[in-house]
A and B are shown apart, each in its own frame.
Chain A
Amino acid sequence: MVDIPDSRGTSTSSILTADKRTKKRNAAEKRFRFYGLAAICIGLSALVMLLASILYQGIPAFTQTKVTLEVPLSADVLDPEGNRDPEDIAKVITFGYAGLIEEAVENAIEEYGIEIEGLDDPAAIVSKQASAQVRNWVLKNPEAVGGTQQFSFYTTSRIDQYYKGKVTMASAELDSQISIEQIQLAEALEEAGALERGFNWDFIFAPDASDQRPEAAGLGVAIIGSAYMMLIVLCLALPIGVAASIYLEEFAPTNRLTDIIEVNISNLAAVPSIVFGILGLAIFINFAGLPQSAPIVGGLVLTLMTLPTIIISTRAALKSVPPSIRDAALGVGASKMQSVFHHVLPLAGPGILTGTIIGLAQALGETAPLLLIGMVAFVTEYPDAPPDGFFDPATALPVQVFNWTQRADPAFAERASGAIIVLLVFLAIMNITAILLRRRFERRW
């Protein structure tokens, strides 16, 4: 017998004390764990910083300062003919209502006994949106002309920002759009109970507004546009993607052609999204003549983009079904179709759904191709209900974010962050759905 030299370093190997080699291995393991932990910490802190900054900037977008005023709907201004004919009332343009708002503000100052020295243009604290708001209401209720009506108006973004701490007396002094006296007026109105800050549903549901009225801008059209596009992507990409994957994975013969197709699908997944935008512009708008800025074009482009993702994840899901299940089905005399649809597809279902939802989430956040097909347009009218609405102009959530960051007024920056929060909430909902579906349907075999 050969004596094997004791490699453990000690002649009597006790398991109570770790030997040299074991110590070394343990140290290596510890170090590796530390590296891993450090990497996770870096990642997490980056995520926390990102979320914190977005939340800090974006949360205020969900509240808005509003002022409640009694507006005298004087018949002289609104119905010069005096016959209460809606058509005649409609002839008075929005500009004509500005005087009424001024009057309303002055009445309020008087009523609450507010005295501010050097107060100039007190109506400037009310949003320019107010005239349009009153006009729309009057057109709907022509019989009210002649009386007074209580309205709740947005304040201008400067007053709103003052309450959110972003405009100060010092900055107001240098600002041409707001004066210290106007801020004092707002505070006085607040004391009188006519001005308050509250949750602003209009931020979520109202359409976009022009540069001069950031306080009125909302995400309504963008959300509808995104929803329409997701609907189109889901209805096109899911069936096409799943059918293509089933064919490639279960039926296609292995030959050069299928190899080439496979490689190209993987390549497509790596194509930058802006390329799909150019393709969409060339094919769907220039060649097929579909309208610009329409969800149908956006949806088609995003479908092209999402297809590779869905195909790849569906094929992975199909591949992960053990071949023994197919054998079992074929063994009892099922046809290929039956084995796929009765056994393989149900097992691959959760994987397919997860892939689809992740693909949709990707499409929801996609901006670049939509810019190219004109979805960055300024749209203040809601699109119709589908299917007609698919051809109406709309924007999309990420594009709205991009759009708002381009605008001059700082109030839009806040809204851009608010829009990001809405987008993130949608993405989170989709991802959580994916996880829940997977948990719910996952089966072991």
Chain B
Amino acid sequence: MKDTRHEQRDTTMNDVKISASGVQVYYGDNHAIKDVDVEIKDKTVTAFIGPSGCGKSTFLRCLNRMNDTIDVARIEGDIRIDGEDIYDPNVDPVQLRAKVGMVFQKPNPFPKSIYDNVAYGPKIHGLARNKAELDEIVEKSLRRAAIWNEVKDRLQAAGTGLSGGQQQRLCIARAVATNPEVLLMDEPCSALDPIATSQVEELIDELRTNYSVVIVTHSMQQAARVSQKTAFFHLGNLVEYGDTDQIFTNPRDKRTESYITGRIG
């Protein structure tokens, strides 16, 4: 089998894509994210790790304002993409989300055909001028999500009729179809078998050439394999953030060390 540990490219040169400072998130009285500062680089894979309930998903959802849909959620602090404040009153979250795509923790295909699932985003954003272009985008996206061969003969079948892992890859295809600049992935591989996982990891690595990818994962190995930067969250705090190599080989914080060696979490 091919070694899935991809060679580490130099990331220090890359610009900052997303910068967050002093981010606080409250769900009612529950203080879920406590004063997080982080800089996410362009053309880099950043992994968020940490025990369950520590706020990884919450922070990820702040980055494309998906938390807006939760009534009790309250966000403070400053998050900028390419230097622009995404919580500025002039920002239309719809435009932001076209720029910052998302793959959710649970696969959530639309109850429509496989084709329509992928074509929906390009359609509403007007990315294709005709049917042929749309077909091309759909095929390209499905190929990138490593699912094309499995579904190419049944594009008109229901997306919900696929297996859990296939559904998740369909969701990835749907997310990349709109050509986002940043892709947020919340445990994209938790429902996948090892082969599909390595395919998705390859995809993530490929996406890195053009996009910035943020991935939440519970698998240390996966974080080590795909990411160049890693952030460790614990109880709503960003405990440690740095190069993946450094976090896994030489963590500075005791909590990070205990977590990656399997003692907390």
Contacts and interface: CB of A to CB of B under 8 A. Distances in A.
Contacts of B66: 327, 330-331
A443 B111 contact: yes
Nearest to A337: B94
Interface string A326-369: 11111111110010001100010000000000000000000000
A324 interface: yes
B108 A332 contact: no
B222 interface: no
A342 to B, nearest CB: 7
B77 to A, nearest CB: 22
B19 to A, nearest CB: 22
B47 to A, nearest CB: 20
Contact of B171 (A253, A328, A445): A328
For chain A, what secondary structure do more than half of its interface residues adopt (helix, strand, loop), or is it mixed?
helix
B53 to A, nearest CB: 19
Contacts of B111: 325, 347, 443-445
B178 A333 contact: yes
B160 interface: yes
A254 B71 contact: yes
A325 to B, nearest CB: 6
Contacts of A328: 104, 108-110, 171, 174
Given A324-B106, A342-B120, A343-B110, A332 B71 contact: no
B69 A333 contact: no
A327 B108 contact: yes
A17 B178 CA distance: 64
B223 interface: no
Nearest to A335: B94
A444 B160 contact: yes
Given A331-B102, A333-B121, A333-B125, A326 B109 contact: no
Contacts of A326: 69
Given A327-B66, A445-B111, A332 B97 contact: yes
A333 B106 contact: no
B149 interface: no
B247 interface: no
A426 to B, nearest CB: 33
Contacts of A330: 66, 69, 94, 97
Contacts of A325: 108, 110-111
B73 interface: no
A327 B125 contact: no
Contact of A334 (B94, B101, B160, B177): B94
A321 to B, nearest CB: 10
A326, A327, A443, most chain B CB atoms within 10 A: A327
Interface string B75-100: 00000000000000000001101100
Nearest to A338: B124
A83 B132 CA distance: 82
A351 to B, nearest CB: 14
A323, A328, A330, most chain B CB atoms within 10 A: A328
Given A324-B108, A330-B97, A332-B175, 12 more contacts: A325-B111, A328-B104, A328-B174, A329-B120, A331-B97, A332-B174, A333-B94, A333-B97, A333-B98, A333-B121, A334-B124, A445-B111
10 contacts: A322-B108, A330-B94, A330-B97, A331-B104, A333-B95, A333-B97, A333-B121, A334-B94, A338-B124, A444-B160
Interface of A: 253-254, 322-335, 338, 342-343, 347, 443-445
